[in-house]
Amino acid sequence: MASYEQVQSLRESAFNIIVNARDDPAALKKYARALEAILVYLDRPEVRDLAAGNTYLQFCGFNLRLDLAETYGKLKQQDKAAKTLQEINDISWTPVLLNVMKDRPSLAKMADEPRVQKILSVAAIPTQLWSSEATYPYAATLSVEERVAGLSQFWHQVRDSFVYFDHVPELDWNKVYLEYLGKVIAAATTEEYYRVLSQLAPLLRDGHTNIYAPPELGKKLYARPPLRTVMLDGKVLIAEIHSPSLKARLALGDEVLTIDGIPVQDYAKQYILPLVSSSTEQDRQLRTYGYQLLAGDADRPVTLGLRNMAGLERIEVIARSEHADIDKKEVFNFKMLPGRIAYLSLDHFESDEGVRKLKKVLPDILQAKALVLDIRKNGGGSTQFGADILSYLTQKPIPFSKSYVRSDNGFTRNDGAHIVWKAMGGKGSEAHYSRERVFDGPVAVLTGAATFSAAEDFLVSFDTLQRGVKIGEATGGSTGQPILVYLPGGGYGRICAKRDTYPDGREFVGVGIFPDVEVRATRESLAAGEDVVLSKAVSLLGQRTQ
């Protein structure tokens, strides 16, 4: 990443030329010369070779040329500006160019010129080829052509971009297309169509490859009562209840025997498992007997056959919707535990909320003897936020996963190379920080099957740094960068198009990241509301701080 950092440093130095003189002709000319010099550096053979395997470095040329074209525009050098915009197209056809030009007045003035219009028409080609969400409004029924087109789009994009076919070596993807062709043709309504498509993605056994029905069908397909179930030691148990009125009828640890009169495991295998996209057995079990088990039509209550801790059986009819007393979920909870052990739950990385909370409580953490970070319910988000948090626990650079994408295309396949891997960033990919103070005491991270995606990226970095101990259960074993495929009727599909490993090449997708100390809840601990994983962490850290 040294060349990338060099270019970013040179770009920042160049920008300082005009920071206080943005429209001064002399400063603009000097700025243009500085940008031109950086582009000469990028065009050196050894740097070009590095850029071929580093997307970030490659697209430095895009940003620099955009700055340069804008500068030429301010200097009334339209020929040079147009030539530079054409060079951007030579790097990448991207609709981003259209939006960026609108925000830069000196370029926006050129938009009506024929030569610039031709450049912009080429930049817009990807939008024409890959439809956006707005292309497919919801409709209760779809034509046969639309249904076939949706199947074909998803199937084809999987064939061209999916990175984990080796996890399903027995799957004949060409045969799957023919099998599902008849099914989608027979689907009379949009609801039936998505019920069929929802069984297609799970065949790939990947947690980041899914098909979702349109929002208009959400209440019909995805409504769930405010409680959570879990499979534990062969039994399906109630693990969480998020409604006071339901707490009066249900109890933690209650065993679910039947759903709508069907034995619970038979029900799950018949109605739920075919819809579950997952990369590992632990993730599959979590989704089948947890997230998705009670999902269904909001207008149809679910009938549960239950057995309490005393062995008494009963029937409860639970509405899937219209619960007015749902408990507000507390996230990013911080507390100081006995023995001056700090605890912080990192519930998601969807925003910088966790980073902001850590910064707020950092003075307390710095006074603690040890720290517990709880990512058991963290389903992911942005890897960057996880790295930001780790930067407060070490002075070392934060290492990232080793990542690959497929770079094969029709030409390479015709030439005999059917799947070609391209490294993204490489083994040395890492983030550098400079924190005034970091917590250098013992750290434990709590994990479980719901630890997923960017939370696993966080754990890979934590593990590689050897910064502390992992306690709990194996993670979900699925991360990567999904691409979106918008489908007729308003639904969409996700396809995992980035393959990740530990920096040293160890696999965790399709496997999970296993804890150093395994701790599992029991029915008794659930019923008593005891957190045995956290208790174990406190015990171990207490021993290490004595």
The three state secondary structure string of 412-480 is HHHCCCCCCEEEECCCCCEECCCCCCCCCCCEEEEECCCCCCHHHHHHHHHHHCCCCEEEECCCCCCCC
pLDDT of residue 192: 97
Fold exhibited by the domain 140-325+484-494:
Pdz3 Domain (2.30.42)
pLDDT of residue 426: 46
Domains 1-129 and 334-397+432-477+512-544 share a fold: no
Region for residue 39 given its phi and psi (left: phi exceeds 0; alpha: psi -120 to 50; beta: otherwise): alpha
pLDDT of residue 405: 92
Residue type, 84: T
pLDDT of residue 134: 59
C-beta separation of 365 from 342 below 8 A: yes
Q: Which tokens sit at 305? A: 């056959």
pLDDT of residue 53: 60
State phi, psi for 338 to the nearest 5 degrees. Answer: -55, 145
CA dihedral 466, 468, 474, 480 (to 10 degrees): -50
Cβ neighbours of residue 437 under 8 Å, at least 6 residues apart? 362, 366
Architecture of domain 1-129: Alpha Horseshoe (1.25)
Q: Domain ranges for the chain, please list them.
A: 1-129, 140-325+484-494, 334-397+432-477+512-544
Q: Alpha-carbon distance 481 to 502, whole Å?
A: 16
pLDDT of residue 427: 44
Q: What is the CB-side half-sphere exposure of residue 300 using CA atoms within 13 A?
A: 12
Q: Alpha-carbon distance 150 to 184, whole Å?
A: 9
The CATH superfamily holding the domain 334-397+432-477+512-544 is 2-enoyl-CoA Hydratase; Chain A, domain 1 (3.90.226.10)
Q: Alpha-carbon distance 393 to 374, whole Å?
A: 15
pLDDT of residue 201: 97
Q: pLDDT per position in the chain (546 positions), as tens? A: 467 778 888 888 888 888 877 788 999 999 999 999 999 998 888 887 777 666 677 778 888 999 999 999 999 999 999 999 999 888 888 888 888 888 888 888 888 899 999 999 999 898 888 766 656 789 999 999 999 999 999 999 999 999 999 999 999 999 999 999 999 999 999 999 999 999 999 999 999 999 999 999 999 999 999 999 999 999 999 999 999 999 999 999 999 999 999 999 999 999 999 999 999 999 999 999 999 999 999 999 999 999 999 999 999 999 999 999 999 888 999 999 999 999 999 999 999 999 999 999 999 999 999 999 999 999 999 999 999 999 999 999 999 999 999 988 888 888 887 888 888 764 448 888 999 999 999 999 999 999 999 999 999 999 999 999 999 999 999 998 899 999 999 999 999 999 999 999 999 999 999 999 999 999 999 999 999 999 999 999 999 887
